[in-house]
Amino acid sequence: MSQRIPVIVLGGTGYVAGELARLVLGHPGLELAAVASDSQPGESVAGAFPHLAPALGDLAFCPQDDAAALAARLPRSAVLAAAPHGVSAALIDALLSRAEAAGSHPTVVDISADYRFADPGAYAAVYGHGHGAPARQPQFSCAVPEHLAAVKTPHVAHPGCFSTATLLATVPLLALGLIEPRVFVSAVTGSTGAGRKPGPGTHHPQRHSDLYSYNGLAHRHGPEIAALAQAATGVAADIAFVPHSGPFARGIHATVQATLARPMQTADVIDALRQFYAGRPFVRVLDAPPRVKDVVTSNYAHLSAVADGRTVAVMSVIDNLVKGAAGGGVQWMNRLLGFEETAGLTAPAPGWT
Ligand SMILES: NC(=O)c1ccc[n+]([C@@H]2O[C@H](COP(=O)([O-])OP(=O)(O)OC[C@H]3O[C@@H](n4cnc5c(N)ncnc54)[C@H](OP(=O)(O)O)[C@@H]3O)[C@@H](O)[C@H]2O)c1
């Protein structure tokens, strides 16, 4: 019998759920036990993710209720959740309540925004609706894995993709006291950041061969980045965040600029970033500007920086669906389950996607 830990994926036919399934199928210590879907229960999972067909066999999507019943039956399981925000909190709460009533204690990593804020009021202020399961919020920590050494909660919420790219650049600058606490972020995402369902503003034909900003200084990830930067560093920084749509499907490029607290040059900042991320295998600090293609489909983040004595700019690239979502989620799950943090995640980017 397999000693692998069974994994239940929530988020069905979504892009992140597909990436979670792909990563779990290649993981040495996990096995894909179920993928729950609202819209396609009973349908073949390979129908939604044909690229995974060779590894999926005849696995069919299950209803949410079956996923909760499975979590209740299994003495030990991992739940990787990628449902939409506003939905995820209640789905996870229902699954955990049923499992706990049966004496089971699944470990959850949520990739939606629902458990990223510790406080229900902060969540409601950003999302404009009440939290779906406020009593569960204290059971979740939220941080980029590289920024939280010890987790004291049973479950984790992974920060969003824009937040991950921005925080990887911002947190060292604040934690080391290198900058004034006023940070300007310009970040560009690929079209998969908007999920599978096309909308007038998010459909790839509208986005390819074009570049434009949206929700400048008013995007929901602005307050999330500020709250998570403060949690990681203790510094209350002002974050001015302007997201952009880029002409590619996968990846994020974030440029973080700030005024230096003391005169530093490019080599000084690069050296400080290298020291900050020493021993963190997924974060690589380069001398040259990082490129999206070098990380796409991988769990690696590449950073670099320039400084002119007065101003610093740190450039950060990640894959939005992997390091910014499914890969970061598996990285957290590895830690929560006691695996090597890198298990199943070390494949480099193909480079020519
Ligand atoms: N895309 C990214 O780059 C990215 C990065 C970081 C975090 N995230 C977060 O990850 C989550 C998933 O993102 P995504 O890009 O995969 O979105 P997506 O492609 O739109 O997929 C979301 C999936 O959730 C399921 N769903 C929709 N409504 C539901 C409901 N009422 N109850 C239960 N399930 C429902 C749907 O699958 P079924 O109909 O099959 O159930 C849908 O395909 C979101 O919370 C998103 O904010 C996304």
Using the atom order of ligand 1, give the atom closest to the CA of residue 39: 39
- Which atom of ligand 1 is least distant from the CA of 13? 40
Q: What CATH number has the domain bearing residue 33?
A: 3.40.50.720
The answer, yes or no, to whether any atom of ligand 1 lies below 6 A from the CB of 312, is: no
Q: From the CA of 16, how far away is ligand 1's center (Å)? A: 7
Task: Using a pLDDT cut of 70, give the percent of the chain over it.
Answer: 99
Range of the domain at 217: 161-320
Confidence of residue 341 (pLDDT cuts 50, 70, 90): very high
Whether 214 and 312 share a structural domain: yes
Which three-class secondary structure state does DSSP give residue 35? strand
One domain, residues 184 and 286 = yes
Assess whether pLDDT exceeds 80 at residue 176. yes
- The answer on 297 and 193 residing in a single domain is yes
Tell me, in angstroms, the distance from the centre of ligand 1 to residue 81's CA: 9
The number of distinct structural domains making up the chain is 2
Q: Are residues 251 and 125 in the same domain?
A: no
Query: Is the CB of residue 15 below 6 angstroms from any atom belonging to ligand 1?
Result: yes
Spatial distance between the Cα atoms of 327 and 342, rounded to a whole number of angstroms: 10
List of long-range contacts for 232-238, beta carbons under 8 Å, 24+ apart: 232/143, 232/144, 232/147, 232/148, 232/167, 232/171, 232/174, 232/175, 233/171, 233/174, 233/175, 235/174, 235/175, 235/181, 236/181, 237/170, 237/174, 237/181, 237/182, 237/183, 238/181, 238/182, 238/183
Q: Among this protein's residues, is 62 annotated catalytic?
A: no
Residue 111 in contact with ligand 1 by CB distance below 6 A:
yes
How high does pLDDT run on average in the chain? 96
Is residue 332 one of the residues assigned to a domain?
A: no
14 touches ligand 1 (CB under 6 Å): yes
Ligand 1 proximity of 39 Cβ (cutoff 6 Å): yes
Task: Quote the pTM value.
Answer: 0.97
pLDDT bucket at 1, cuts 50 / 70 / 90: very low
> Which residue matches tokens 């230096």?
260
What totals of helices (H) and strands (E) does the chain contain, helices first? 11, 13
In this structure, the answer to whether residues 218 and 310 fall within a common structural domain is: yes
Give the active site residue among 157, 161, 254, 303. Answer: 161
For ligand 1, atom 25, which residue shows the shortest CA distance? Answer: 11
**Residue 2 predicted with pLDDT over 80:** no
The CATH number linked to 221 is: 3.30.360.10
Q: What pLDDT sits at residue 201?
A: 81
Q: Are residues 302 and 170 in the same domain?
A: yes
Query: Do 310 and 282 belong to one domain?
Result: yes
Residues 31 and 166 in one domain: no
Same domain for 50 and 93? yes
Same domain, yes or no, for 289 and 185? Answer: yes
Across the beta sheet with 155-157, the strand order is: 30-36, 5-10, 78-81, 107-110, 155-157, 140-142
User: Which residues are CB-neighbours of 128 under 8 A, at least 6 positions away?
Assistant: none
CB atoms within 10 A of CB 62: 22
- Which DSSP helix (H) or strand (E) runs through 334? helix 327-337
